[in-house]
Structure 1
Amino acid sequence: MNFITKTHQLKAAIDILLKSQFITVDTEFCREATFWPKVCLIQIASPETAILIDPLERDIDLTPFAKLMSAKETLKVFHSARQDLEMIYHLTGLIPKPLFDTQIAAMVCGHGDSISYERLVFHITKHKINKSSCFTNWSQRPLSQQQINYALADVTHLREVYTSLRDTLQQSNRYSWLNEEINKLEEETYDLSPEEAWKKVKGRVHNPRELSVLQKIAAWREREAQKRNRPRSHILKDHTLIEIAIQQPRTRNQIRNLRTIPRIYKNSDHITDQLLKTIEEALKMKKEALPTLNRCSNYQEKKEKQSQVEIIKLLLKVVTTENNVATRIVATNDDITEIVIKREKADVLAMRGWRFDIFGSKALAILNGTIGIGVQNGTIKLFDIPHAAKEDLVQERGRGLLWTKY
């Protein structure tokens, strides 16, 4: 293992790594008190070697690292890559390509939804990883030996995990399933526009006017967080944004009387006036210019369709078990609700490609009454519904089947 603190050391190590067909990559960072992540350590391993890069060293130039991340001949292997990609993007300005994400590959190979690195390593290699250093202070120097060992384990065991999953994908002809997910990772925008920040707010609004206020306030918070380099929640918490969007205060006193507004803002006319101006911009929008609520926003319609949603959820469990693939990678609960309400017009991944083949097509068949779900010999099965069946509820005593037509 090489602990690299100088540019010439890094260049020499990268020249060797560039000769490998694949490398495993991980990062350690701190961002508890900042908006922008602070990358504290970069770990890389090839089949032959492993290195640790100290990006906190003043004199180190990470250009050779950026060269490796963009090398088309070398596959970059991560586990749960999204955060690491964000770190690398803000460090180098590029997204590593080509990519392989072992967490996604594990879902495709039937290891469950979003399996942790620790559990996946144990499943495949039988090694137990000591996670005691997971939340240590990675910005401190020198790093302890325990931290170094932990950091190395994040990439050295990943080599065996990768080769095992790669072989399984090849044997099951599911590489195309994985590549579809990897393409989304590579195409994702990791420099979030303030105007898109509302999409990550937890909570619900109920109409287009409330949504327009939420969009404006979330964009204001994003800019403030970036400018001050503080976490979003240190500016305003998500539930405060939702309260503002719903209550739509129009005076200083109305803002100060909000239950969730921070006390420091109650004493600041400057901040209060910024919020009022932002809210006013949203309230002045003409009706035809208001945004539309995402997907299935009609509560009553969702409530009426709930029994169908539950049946399609059961279908999802059946087909993912049969195909040995994680449910989350096939469809989400929101996807299912949209399929039930919009049928063939549902604009979700489950209605395209391999997901449609194993799940979406069957969901439509159940909703259209051409197949049903039943129990045979204690196992849940899918069955064709006889064309002659007229009743909404059909039972065939000989096989003990029960299905519902919609």
Structure 2
Amino acid sequence: MKTLTTTDELAAFCTEAARHDYVTVDTEFLRERTYYSKLCLIQLAMPGTDDSGAVLVDPLAGNMSLEPLYDLFRDTSVVKVFHAARQDLEIFYVDAQVLPDPLFDTQVAAMVCGFGEQVGYETLVRKIARQSLDKTSRFTDWSRRPLTDAQKTYALADVTHLRQIYEFLAAKLEETGRARWVKEELTTLLSGDTYIVQPENAWKRVKTRTHSPKFLALVKELAAFRERHAQDRNIPRNRVYKDDALVELASNKPKSLEDLGRSRLLLREARKGDIADGILKAVKAGLSMSPDAMPQPDRSREKLQVNPALADLLRVLLKAKTESAGVAAKLIATASDLDALAAGERDIAALKGWRSEVFGEDALRLCDGRVALAAKGESVRIVPLDE
């Protein structure tokens, strides 16, 4: 197992990898004690059937630059293959504002090839590569050096088996004509906005039972301060204060350090110093926010007049169509999506892109009364109705 520890070694590997159609990529990182992921290891493999074209890259060794890897990411002649790429891509985008082009995510590809929703790498290794993974090093501190042989073997397997999985899925997509489906699904992963959390939008991640604009104004300011503080100091947002403490603060509206001292849920460290000052300023800003600037909860679906019979028919249609296509029903539409569709809503994901081909077009025909459903044995078929 070869470990690259210098920029020159990485550059030599990437130059060789650029001669191939694809390269498989994975990372190991830590995030328990930081806001941003700490990159600890990168695994890379060129096409092949053994470990000779696979390497480990140690970004913690000396002053290694990852620019040769980023040049490979920018090389549009080489497909960069990941599994469940989101967290990996976030690391690279935050570090260098670079995303691999073109990208292939085997989790997304497996989804549209009939392996179910969010299928794990271990499952694909077992079903496609017909191998098993040694999971003994799954939960380990990847920042500690030296790495053990067991750690290295575990890490390398994340890219060596990935080659066979990629080749199988790519062929399957070509055979079924679903490559475009994968491309559509990767749009979000290839947008830099996916990996940047704007403090002013952080409140949308906080679950609350109260949805009044005045209350949400306080949640917004408290969440924005927490996000900025966590980003600036590179600490997890929950180390500043947790969501339940944030909601408590929004409810109690503390105006002094004495008020903060009465909190049940606030961490002791947050009752003094910079965090305490930030909380009090956020509460003050939330209380003084003008009504037109206050967050407004999305109530667009609360007043929908759902046709329950049509909603039930749409559920039957969804089950039939997804079973036929070999994709998970939840990937196409949620229960609330179906209710919205039955209430006349048309701005839903199930009516767009590849989902429309699988389900949306027939769903609209059903809603418009142009088709009916009929049971035949264990299957459901669509029956066109005369105009």
TM over 0.5: yes
Q: 1:193 to 1:270 in 2, by over 3 A?
A: closer
Q: What RMSD, in angstroms, separates the aligned Cα atoms of the two structures? A: 2.6
Counterpart of 2:332, as a letter, is: V
Shift of the alpha carbon at 1:63? 1.6
Shift of the alpha carbon at 1:257? 4.1
Counterpart of 1:13, as a letter, is: F
Distance (whole Å) between structure 1 residues aligned to residue 114 and residue 43 of structure 2 = 28
Match of 1:19, SS? coil
**TM, length-normalised to structure 2:** 0.89
What is the number of residues matched between the two proteins? 381
Q: 1:188 to 1:349 in 2, by over 3 A?
A: farther
Shift of the alpha carbon at 1:209? 3.0
Distance (whole Å) between structure 2 residues aligned to residue 361 and residue 242 of structure 1 = 42
Q: 2:357 matched to 1:357?
A: yes
Match of 2:184, SS? helix
Alignment of 1:241-256 (within 5 A): 241-245=246-250, 247=251, 249-252=253-256, 255-256=260-261
Residue 196 (structure 2) aligns with:
191
Deviations along 1:6-26, one digit per CA (max 9) or x if unpaired, are 222111111111111100000
Q: 1:137 to 1:163 in 2, by over 3 A?
A: same
Residue 36 (structure 1) aligns with:
36
Alignment of 1:177-216 (within 5 A): 177-189=181-193, 190-203=195-208, 205-216=210-221
Q: 1:369 to 1:211 in 2, by over 3 A?
A: farther
Q: 2:166 matched to 1:135?
A: no
Q: 1:263 to 1:340 in 2, by over 3 A?
A: farther
Would the aligned equivalents of 2:106 and 2:165 in 1 still touch at CA under 8 Å? yes
Would the aligned equivalents of 2:43 and 2:159 in 1 still touch at CA under 8 Å? yes
Would the aligned equivalents of 1:203 and 1:238 in 2 still touch at CA under 8 Å? no
Distance (whole Å) between structure 2 residues aligned to residue 268 and residue 337 of structure 1 = 48
Residue 398 (structure 1) aligns with:
none
Residue 335 (structure 1) aligns with:
337
Distance (whole Å) between structure 2 residues aligned to residue 258 and residue 112 of structure 1 = 45
Distance (whole Å) between structure 1 residues aligned to residue 107 and residue 41 of structure 2 = 21
Would the aligned equivalents of 1:350 and 1:359 in 2 still touch at CA under 8 Å? yes
Q: 1:196 to 1:343 in 2, by over 3 A?
A: same
Q: 1:313 to 1:244 in 2, by over 3 A?
A: farther
Shift of the alpha carbon at 1:233? 1.2
Shift of the alpha carbon at 1:386? 7.6
Match of 1:124, SS? helix
Shift of the alpha carbon at 1:351? 1.9
Distance (whole Å) between structure 2 residues aligned to residue 121 and residue 55 of structure 1 = 27
Q: State percent identity of aligned pairs.
A: 38
Question: Where does structure 1 lack aligned partners over 5 or more consecutive residues?
Answer: 388-406
Shift of the alpha carbon at 1:342? 4.7
Would the aligned equivalents of 1:204 and 1:242 in 2 still touch at CA under 8 Å? no
Residue 102 (structure 2) aligns with:
98
Alignment of 1:122-271 (within 5 A): 122-189=126-193, 190-203=195-208, 205-245=210-250, 247=251, 249-252=253-256, 255-265=260-270, 267-268=271-272, 271=275
**TM, length-normalised to structure 1:** 0.85
Distance (whole Å) between structure 2 residues aligned to residue 93 and residue 331 of structure 1 = 32
Q: 1:273 to 1:141 in 2, by over 3 A?
A: closer
Q: 2:295 matched to 1:291?
A: yes
Shift of the alpha carbon at 1:102? 0.5
Which structure has more relative contact order (CA 8 Å, sep 6+)? It is: 2
Alignment of 1:374-393 (within 5 A): 374-384=374-384
Once the two structures are overlaid, the 10-residue window that deviates more, 282-291 or 172-181, is 282-291
Match of 1:185, SS? coil
